[in-house]
Amino acid sequence: MLARAVLYTLNKKARSKGFGISRCLVIVNDLKEGKFLRRLVNSPELGYNIFGYIALNGLPEKLEPSFKIEDLSNIVNKDRIDTIIIYDEKIDGFASLNNELLRNGLSNLSEICEEKNIKLKLVSPETESILRFAYIRDIGGIPLYIPSRKKITRLRNFTKRAFDLLATPLLMILLSPLYILTVIAIMIEDGLPVLYKQKRALISGKGEFDFYKFRSMIKGAENMQAELYNRNKTSGGLFLLEDDPRITKVGKIIRRFSIDELPQLMNVIKGEMSLVGPRPLSLSDLNNIAPENRLGGFYKLRANAKPGVTGLWQISGRRTVSFKEMVLLDLYYIENQSFALDLEILFETIPVVLFGRGAY
């Protein structure tokens, strides 16, 4: 953290002298007051030279030059923009902005930026859920989040896989008594099968794999999901009930302490999952995510990393975290993944599991 603080101070001084400045287009979807824009304009140390503004619903103050959304294609193709900053009071607004782009014959904004090598930054008061882990600059007290497609090196993939193959067998040996006790408890209460198997999406949504858990619900629980859907406690691609009547007595215990997740170590050995990564979703969940929860299409980027047994979502509150917050946490992990971050997440998983935080 000290090294980051020193680097931030050096960058701030360099930018105040005109070095490392990024040519920036600001897109405003919903802005109730101008604090954010004033901070952006009056703070050269942030490193932005404002090329212009696009406002879908009008600016609270007169700022020039201003453009229309129809001008965006020409701007990104001809005007050598380095960065696009999107501001919205609500994360949901990124979806409406993306719909506006599509209505004007433009592609998904994240795809445009990737093609043109333009940095895309989302700014919203609602991105505060990732501040615990992210060293993120703020603009006028509003956190700034960068959901770009960071290229992962072969060395990074190799070291991550090597660690998975070394650590996972050791974990399985250490936890083998817990495996045995769980199997016996499930069989005594509700018989076979002991394992629950469900199809989940592979990395980048390229096919499916069998996702393993210890069975924590009664037999035939999936057939009851439709009649319980109106009690769903979350949104997006998740289905969670606070007092799910399908959960067995043993199931309540193993779910509270995440013991039901232990069979996923087999998925790690098979190379379908990693110890750390975004939570795997089923393909049907991915395809049926409500438009208001898609963050303008950015939610799809979470599929760019191999799914994990644990991750930022699990150590940030698990079932108390909204779907949108989960997506932001996963995107932050993808953008900043490293061996050190993986170790931090693994160590922070221990108290979360031991004390059953965020579980039901």
Average pLDDT over residues 66-70: 82
Question: For the chain, how far is it from start to end, CA to CA, in angstroms?
Answer: 34
Residues 43, 35: Cα–Cα separation, whole Å: 12
Question: Are 160 and 26 within one domain?
Answer: no
89: Cα separation from own chain's centroid: 19
Does residue 55 register a pLDDT over 60?
Answer: yes
Average pLDDT over residues 130-140: 46
Residue 86 within any structural domain of the chain:
yes
Which residue, 130, 123, 145, 114, is CA-closest to 39? 123
Question: Are 202 and 305 within one domain?
Answer: yes
Average pLDDT over residues 50-62: 76
Q: Which pLDDT band holds residue 181 (cuts at 50, 70, 90)?
A: very high
Question: Are 113 and 29 within one domain?
Answer: yes
Q: What is the pLDDT of residue 232?
A: 66
Q: Six-digit token pair at 102?
A: 């599509």
Q: Which is higher by pLDDT, 135 or 230?
A: 230
Q: What is the pLDDT of residue 235?
A: 59
Among 72-76, 205-209, 350-354, top mean pLDDT goes to 350-354
Q: What is the pLDDT of residue 349?
A: 92
Give the domain range for residue 88.
2-145
Residue 337 within any structural domain of the chain:
yes
Average pLDDT over residues 70-97: 76
| Domain containing residue 126: CATH number | 3.40.50.720
- Out of 17-31, 281-295, 304-318, which region has the weakest mean confidence (pLDDT)? 281-295
Does residue 3 register a pLDDT over 60?
Answer: no
Q: What is the pLDDT of residue 287?
A: 66
Among 52-66, 219-233, 262-276, 346-360, top mean pLDDT goes to 262-276
Residue where a domain stops, chosen among 121, 145, 169: 145
Residue 270 within any structural domain of the chain:
yes
Residue 297 within any structural domain of the chain:
yes
Q: What is the pLDDT of residue 359?
A: 64
CB 108 within 8 A of CB 93: no
Average pLDDT over residues 129-149: 47
Question: Are 113 and 174 within one domain?
Answer: no
Question: Are 164 and 277 within one domain?
Answer: yes
Does residue 118 register a pLDDT over 50?
Answer: yes
pLDDT, tens digit, 9 for 90 and up, residues 280-289: 877 666 666 6
Q: What is the pLDDT of residue 227?
A: 75
Q: What one-character-per-residue DSSP string does 233-278 give?
A: S--TT----TT-TTB-HHHHHHHHTTGGGTTHHHHHHTTS-EEESP
SS (H, E, C) 107-136: CCHHHHHHHHCCEEEEECHHHHHHCCCCCC
Number of structural domains (the chain) is 2
Residue 359 within any structural domain of the chain:
no
Question: Are 204 and 334 within one domain?
Answer: yes
CA torsion angle for 55, 61, 62, 66 (degrees, to 10)? -10
Q: Which pLDDT band holds residue 65 (cuts at 50, 70, 90)?
A: confident
CB 56 within 8 A of CB 106: no
Q: For residue 44, give every residue at least 6 positions away whose Cβ sits within 8 Å of its Cβ, in sequence order, or none.
A: 15, 16, 18, 21
Q: Are strands 22-30 and 66-67 parallel, antiparallel or unpaired?
A: unpaired
Residue 322 within any structural domain of the chain:
yes
Question: Are 221 and 184 within one domain?
Answer: yes
Q: Which pLDDT band holds residue 134 (cuts at 50, 70, 90)?
A: very low
Residue where a domain stops, chosen among 145, 165, 187: 145
Q: What is the pLDDT of residue 22?
A: 85
Question: Are 164 and 134 within one domain?
Answer: no
Question: Are 209 and 331 within one domain?
Answer: yes
Q: Six-digit token pair at 160?
A: 């991550």
Average pLDDT over residues 252-258: 94
Q: Which is higher by pLDDT, 23 or 35?
A: 23
Residue 94 within any structural domain of the chain:
yes
Residues 297, 287: Cα–Cα separation, whole Å: 12
Question: Are 140 and 159 within one domain?
Answer: no
The neighbouring-strand residues paired with 213 are 196
Q: Six-digit token pair at 263?
A: 């069979």
Q: Which is higher by pLDDT, 138 or 111?
A: 111
Helix-helix angle 154-174:339-354, to 10 degrees: 30
Mean pLDDT taken over the chain: 77
pTM for this structure? 0.69
Residue 360 within any structural domain of the chain:
no
Residue where a domain stops, chosen among 145, 176, 200: 145
Question: Are 167 and 139 within one domain?
Answer: no
pLDDT, tens digit, 9 for 90 and up, residues 219-237: 988 888 777 777 766 655 5
Backbone angles phi, psi at 315, to 5 degrees: -95, 5
Q: Which is higher by pLDDT, 298 or 346?
A: 346
Q: What is the pLDDT of residue 61?
A: 65
Question: Are 104 and 245 within one domain?
Answer: no
